Amino acid sequence: MDNILLQVKNLSTTFYTSEGSVKALEHVSFSIERGKTLGIVGESGCGKSVLSLSIMGLLQKEKSKIDNGEIIFEGKNLLKLSAKDMRNIRGKEISMIFQEPMTSLNPVFTIGEQLKDIIKLYNFDKKVDYGKVAKELLELVEIQDAKSKLMQYPHELSGGQRQRVMIAMALASKPKLLICDEPTTALDVTMQREILLLINNLKKQMNMAVIMITHDLSVIKAVSDDVMVMYAGKVMEYNSVSDIFEKSLHPYTRDLLNSIPIIGRKSSRLSTIPGMVPNLSNKPKGCLYHERCKISTSKCRVEAPEFLILEEDKKVRCFNYDLLYKESKEKINNESSTAKSKVKSSSIVLEVSNIEKTFSQRGSFNKVWSRIFKKPECCSGAKDEIKAVDNVSFSVRKGETLGIVGESGCGKTTLSRIILGLLKPDKGNVTFDAKLQAVFQDPYSSLNPRMNIFDIISEPLDIERKFTKAEKIKIVQDMMKKCGLNEMYMHRYANEFSGGQRQRISICRSLINEPELVILDEPVSALDMSIKSQILNLLSDLQEELNLTYIMISHDLSTLYHIADRVIVMYLGEIVEIASKEELFNNPIHPYTQLLLKSILSMDKLNDAEGHLNNESNKVIKNEVRGCKFYDRCPYKRDDCKTRVYKLIEVTKEHFVSCNLGELSD
């Protein structure tokens, strides 16, 4: 007990809305020791972030209230402290990292200025060199060339670098507790891995306690000691990380585990959780999960289960937990059905030939100065240009799903915009024999908030010919049914739907004109695990029913393993490897492909966080490398790789790679 840093007892939080009072948290209890990590997992709307804001004392008093409970931090009840005393703890002894660093950092101040402000807030010694401390903080979070980064603005840093800056700010006061709210959700797999490794290492160095909030069980497994599963404001299960994955006790935990796309799973469909998290203003009677539960009984529908303490670190809220407890480990993430084989076609629907696209980094003022005074731009040279797509060629066959994978900035999205005709390439051609459509990453930003769903979905129909109102309604209703949408919702607006429903609406709109080829740009990366599975199953069903061809852009290899037939791996604008899904995952040749696969937080390895968090990719990519662009990060580099440009060569049937390792394999 002496080692317990934070203890939350029977915490309940209420929000006041236009629909009345809403219980966002109900009787939540847990504790965390120094030097330990507690993972908190659950779908959106389960109360994870509300819990973190309650601990930090950041809830709006006009719109919310902590009804009862205690938050004991180092023997002090935070709920009884004055606002002044709480300010001395918040940020100083308890720090927090938020999901999207770009919205947390001030765009008009440099990184150095923002770090110095934080340091001044917690250090009253006027003799301290704030600039030196700021530089040391950036070095602590392993940012390369920290001195120059202090002079840069947030938009000049990559997503991973911005998240490292947020971690540096959170650590400026040397906190005892670090709360991480979805710190890696928006990052690609290699950057996610680096950030998790960094947090893990800093926890050990500083003997901090960490609360890791996420909807991704792979992240939970990589870094957590204990896990708390939340649903609709209540704790459903509390268990050690090993038991959560081997012997989970609650049906909700088991369903979350089963819904995750896993490399190597040979199943025709992903397991999904029917329905969604209930509206907190209208919770169901009995067990909150009974409407979605596969083993619910009549008792579950009328009586709410208590939170049972089976052992000190093993707790569950379920009448039927013993049924799951008796099940063997093999039943988790194991389905008997085998993957359906697609009918392959040799006909080509899209041909991309030698595409190149370069963007200038020179500012608009500099360009105007050059035009007016007919002088060379002051920021000329190769360093001011980024070759986003560099001599890319490939073809897409009718009826297949071609996956394109790579880290942020590798050129995936630029390439997709060129294919769609939204960007003009500097060189090369795109030839297609199909109608094209696209589904984008964030459905909320791609749906017009002023239009109802019927108008959004039906709008493309007017492009080809005029339909009567009755014809439009019939076409929209039919497509909504195919996309799993209730036709009664046609006159609602985008803000009235969940993230998964909005993505279904985006898919519905993209298919209304019967395209043959659909480009899917990160269509599930912003969704909960359970919703992601539903959308991936929907895409597979629609492809089979409508004979669609997909180009799926993603940084998530486990998603591509489930849906893709072939995979293209891109790095800094170039294709470095192309192969069938099976060949790429079983026999990756390019070192970058190997790095991506190694970076996946595997669900198949238990308690091996160190093993799959070690990483050698956090190195500066030097502009002067004229040969292989992966040279500075490659563990197998040779002297000639620095100057030699490798072309794609076929090492086995339809397996192409641009690397000297490919030549050795040939």
- DSSP states along 545-608: HHT-EEEEEES-HHHHHHH-SEEEEEETTEEEEEEEHHHHHHS--SHHHHHHHHHS--SSSSS-
Using the 8-state DSSP alphabet, how is residue 489 labeled? G
* Helices 130-140 and 159-171: angle between axes, nearest 10 degrees: 120
Residue 481: give the domain boundaries: 452-513
CATH number of the domain residue 415 falls in: 3.40.50.300
What confidence score (pLDDT) does residue 440 get? Answer: 85
Using the 8-state DSSP alphabet, how is residue 646 labeled? P
112 band by pLDDT with thresholds 50, 70 and 90: very high
CA pair distance 311, 481, nearest whole angstrom = 47
User: Residue 372 falls within a domain, yes or no?
Assistant: no
User: Residue 53 falls within a domain, yes or no?
Assistant: no
What confidence score (pLDDT) does residue 380 get? Answer: 42
Does residue 648 sit in the same domain as residue 525?
yes
Q: Which helix (H) or strand (E) holds 90?
A: none
What confidence score (pLDDT) does residue 383 get? Answer: 52
User: Residue 228 falls within a domain, yes or no?
Assistant: no
Number of domains in the chain: 2
* Helices 111-122 and 130-140: angle between axes, nearest 10 degrees: 110
User: Residue 269 falls within a domain, yes or no?
Assistant: no
Cβ partners under 8 Å of residue 324, min gap 6: 248, 249, 250, 251, 254, 295, 318
CA pair distance 536, 615, nearest whole angstrom = 30
Q: Which residues of 370-381 are buried (b: 16+ CB within 10 A; e: fewer)?
A: beeeeeebeeee
Does residue 467 sit in the same domain as residue 602?
no
User: Residue 162 falls within a domain, yes or no?
Assistant: no
Does residue 594 sit in the same domain as residue 467?
no
Identify whether the C-beta of residue 34 lies closer than 8 Å to the C-beta of residue 177: no
Does residue 527 sit in the same domain as residue 574?
yes
What confidence score (pLDDT) does residue 609 get? Answer: 40
65 band by pLDDT with thresholds 50, 70 and 90: very high
408 band by pLDDT with thresholds 50, 70 and 90: confident
User: Residue 485 falls within a domain, yes or no?
Assistant: yes
Residue with tokens 């929907």: 538
CA pair distance 329, 448, nearest whole angstrom = 46
Cβ partners under 8 Å of residue 455, min gap 6: 448
Mean pLDDT of the chain: 86
CA pair distance 242, 329, nearest whole angstrom = 11
User: Residue 446 falls within a domain, yes or no?
Assistant: no
Does residue 411 sit in the same domain as residue 463?
no
Domain boundary among 496, 513, 530: 513
Does residue 610 sit in the same domain as residue 476?
no
Of 19-23, 161-165, 608-612, the range with the lowest mean pLDDT is: 608-612
User: Residue 475 falls within a domain, yes or no?
Assistant: yes
Distances in Å between the Cα of 611 and the Cα atoms of 240, 349, 605, 608, 635 are 19, 42, 9, 5, 17
What confidence score (pLDDT) does residue 178 get? Answer: 97
Judge whether residue 190 has pLDDT over 60: yes
574-580 and 436-439 beta bridge pairing: unpaired
Does residue 626 sit in the same domain as residue 542?
yes
CA pair distance 639, 486, nearest whole angstrom = 61
Does residue 531 sit in the same domain as residue 588?
yes
Q: Retrieve residue 115's tokens.
A: 């770090």
Tell me the pLDDT tens digit for each residue of 421-444: 999 999 999 999 889 999 987 777
Tell me the pLDDT tens digit for each residue of 533-547: 999 999 999 999 999
Does residue 355 sit in the same domain as residue 427?
yes
Does residue 612 sit in the same domain as residue 534?
yes
> Model's pTM, two decimal places?
0.85
What confidence score (pLDDT) does residue 379 get? Answer: 41
Tell me the pLDDT tens digit for each residue of 338-354: 455 555 567 999 999 99
Residue with tokens 């890319």: 392
Judge whether residue 80 has pLDDT over 90: yes
Q: Retrieve residue 470's tokens.
A: 């009755």
Domain boundary among 490, 513, 536: 513
Does residue 536 sit in the same domain as residue 523?
yes
Length of the chain counted residue by residue: 666
What confidence score (pLDDT) does residue 149 get? Answer: 92
What confidence score (pLDDT) does residue 235 get? Answer: 98
Q: Which residues of 401-440 are buried (b: 16+ CB within 10 A; e: fewer)?
A: bbbbbbbebbbbbbbbbbbeeebebeebebebebebbbbb
Judge whether residue 211 has pLDDT over 70: yes
SS3 530: helix
Domain boundary among 466, 495, 513: 513
Does residue 505 sit in the same domain as residue 530?
no
